[in-house]
Structure 1
Amino acid sequence: MTPKPLLFSGLLVVMGAFSALGQSSAPANSDTAYNRVVTERAAKIVAMLNLSEPAKSARVRESIVQQYRDLNAIHERRKEAIKNRIEIASPAAKVAEKEKLEGEITGELKTLHMDFLGRLSIDLNGQQIDQVKDGMTYGVLPITYKGYQDMLPDLTEAQKKQILTWLTEARERAMDEGTSKEKHAVFGKYKGRINNYLSAAGIDLKQAGKAWEERIASEAEKARKQ
């Protein structure tokens, strides 16, 4: 079934974009349960790569699992630090502590991100690494990019390039978030930026979305009659 397009709060949402894997990541209540979840996720991502060498598949899977563990550790520590800030009486001190914390976390995530891509590059080519990135972000980039092109078939090459650039940047940022909700929130911000960009170019997204729905309904009706 073709996903139905919706325009909601200025953001393009494609129904069907979220697989069962896209549910929010549960906190690591127990190491065993958490490891099982991330191992299953990593295995599904690696399966999409169709790697022929078992040893290579195992290395890539373990790299992804370790990335999930490291991301979880950073975000859990961040939550704990934020919780402890309640004990700081001075508002100014709270702000300073928050800025310090965010700076430290951002630096750690950036280093972790680059190290992870470096490990993947040992066994995977650029296209395969992109597949891993898409797997870790629920395929939002390709689904959304295709959605914009289907909804707006008259996009210029420059507009397509800009949309893909922003979605790619969103994917890099979303990879480092700790939960499905947070990952999708990153894409949401970039979709808002894209929609503003298209609106500024004179594109009526509301009308375009309505026309897209009508095209999908028409195509579905033709397929039904065949």
Structure 2
Amino acid sequence: MPSVAQKAKKSAKEEAQAYIQVTNQRADKIVDNMAISDRTKKLKVRDYVAQQYRDLSRIHEQRDARVKAVKETAGTNKQATEKRIAEIDEFTNAELAKLHQTFIGNLQAQLSAEQVDQVKDGMTYGVVPITYKGYLAMLPNLTEEQKTQIMAWLVEAREHAMDAGTSEKKHGWFGKYKGRINNYLSAAGYDLKKAGDEWVAREKAEQEPNSKK
């Protein structure tokens, strides 16, 4: 009969194997939507993406464990606790930046610039193209300069969101940058509430003829 320690070890091993399978499947969904005809290259890219998910999870889990330990052992000196947590976050961000750079370098060695963007969009739920398309539809009179700025901020948000540890935090990065975009557009004279209402009305008007067919 296996001991409690053996069962725990087996369980931990099974959990690790299950997580590898989950990350492989998640990566497969991204890569399967890309036009990569070379099977070897496709598998290599899949492995890069899956490993990136695992490495991100490890870094974020280590960060959370360190912060938890600091809070549990913290005394009454709140300032010292906050300083220690800030140091942990600074270290974590440095690790994430290094991991991000290596990951993108690996992708660029295998894929075109357009395909690398496809991977990035796949890891961030396609928020960049969806949001950009939404701004163009809501504000059809945007200047080329404004379109360029909107896309630049969305792409910047995506770089951060790729490294976030949860879906909520990924969307949080886009929310932050969308706020910046909205402030930029408001300063340029756009009434976003009015534009949004008019966009909804246009969408509704376009759908009504189709519903009568």
Superposition TM-score, scaled by structure 1 size: 0.85
Query: Is structure 2 residue 209 aligned with structure 1 residue 222?
Result: yes
CA displacement, residues 73-92 of structure 1 (integer Å, 9 cap, x when unaligned): 00001111111111121212
Q: 1:142 maps to which residue? A: 129
CA displacement, residues 34-75 of structure 1 (integer Å, 9 cap, x when unaligned): 222211110011111121111001100000010000000000
Q: Which runs of 4+ in 1 moved over 2 A?
A: none
* Correspondence list, 1:111-190, <5 A: 111-190=98-177
Q: 2:11 maps to which residue? A: none
> In the aligned structure 2, how far is the partner of 1:107 from the partner of 1:188?
23
Q: 2:9 maps to which residue? A: none
> In the aligned structure 1, how far is the partner of 2:205 from the partner of 2:137?
14
> In the aligned structure 2, how far is the partner of 1:202 from the partner of 1:182?
30
> In the aligned structure 2, how far is the partner of 1:199 from the partner of 1:188?
16
Q: 1:88 maps to which residue? A: 74
CA displacement, residues 134-164 of structure 1 (integer Å, 9 cap, x when unaligned): 0000000000000000000001111111100
> When you count helix as a share of all residues, which structure comes out higher?
2
CA displacement, residues 90-131 of structure 1 (integer Å, 9 cap, x when unaligned): 212212211211110110000000000111111101000000
> In the aligned structure 2, how far is the partner of 1:98 from the partner of 1:173?
20
> In the aligned structure 1, how far is the partner of 2:197 from the partner of 2:79?
49
The count of corresponding residues between Structure 1 and Structure 2 is: 198
User: How much identity, in percent, do the aligned residues show?
Assistant: 51
Q: 1:41 maps to which residue? A: 26
1:103 maps to amino acid: E
Question: Structure 1 residue 176: deviation in Å?
Answer: 0.3
RMSD: 1.1
> In the aligned structure 2, how far is the partner of 1:162 from the partner of 1:114?
24
> In the aligned structure 1, how far is the partner of 2:15 from the partner of 2:201?
48
> In the aligned structure 2, how far is the partner of 1:84 from the partner of 1:30?
24
Indicate which of 53, 56, 62 corresponds to 2:47: 62
> In the aligned structure 2, how far is the partner of 1:108 from the partner of 1:174?
15
Unaligned runs of 5+ in 2: 1-13
> Which structure's relative contact order is higher, taking Cα pairs within 8 Å and 6+ residues apart?
1
Q: 1:18 maps to which residue? A: none
Indicate which of 192, 202, 206 corresponds to 1:205: 192
> In the aligned structure 1, how far is the partner of 2:17 from the partner of 2:178?
36
> In the aligned structure 2, how far is the partner of 1:201 from the partner of 1:131?
31
SS in 2 for 1:39: helix
> In the aligned structure 1, how far is the partner of 2:137 from the partner of 2:92?
38
Q: 1:99 maps to which residue? A: 86
2:26 maps to amino acid: R
Question: Structure 1 residue 202: deviation in Å?
Answer: 1.1
Unaligned runs of 5+ in 1: 1-28
